[in-house]
Amino acid sequence: MENRQHRRPLWIGLLACALAPTILLVMGLVASGQQFMIPIEVVLVVSLPASLLATCLVAWPYALWLRHRHKLSSLRICLAGTIVGALVLASFNFYLNWFPDMRDHSFAFQVALTSARKGLIGGALIGLVASAALSVGAGIPIRRIERAQQDSI
């Protein structure tokens, strides 16, 4: 008996995973209706390569590893995407706001830490959207197939 863990090819889900955060950011900018100093083209040029890189370095190996272990489920993918997204954006915000050249090191650390905390929620949301797009694109069920088959018996 063949045990398929996803209904569509995994590369379709990975493509959706790479495009979803960029589409989310552009839609957020357009929906806000405000004038920004950063044009939408710049958001596309920056967010799409970053999203592709994250998909290739994190989502693809993790999905393959779960599939190899026969534990691929949408819940696991979304949980991991949320955690990784939150940690990456928080680290990025900390790095951008850390100025070790300041005389008051404790104040510089506090500013960077506050910025990192603010990035947790946005990063978690972006990671959740990307991992949900991977799950929908590849047709990954919410629960593992073996468990769903055992519950129906």
For 37-89, what is each residue's pLDDT tens digit? 778 888 888 888 888 988 999 999 999 999 899 888 899 999 999 999 999 99
Domain borders along the chain are 10-152
| Residue 147 pLDDT > 80 | no
Q: According to the model, what pLDDT value does residue 115 have?
A: 92
Q: Could you write out the DSSP letters of every residue in 26-83?
A: HHHHHHH----SS-HHHHHHHHHHHHHHHIIIIIHHHHHHHHHTT---HHHHHHHHHH
Q: Name the residue among 82, 89, 90 with its Cα closest to residue 116.
A: 90
The CA-based diameter of the chain, rounded to the nearest angstrom, is 68
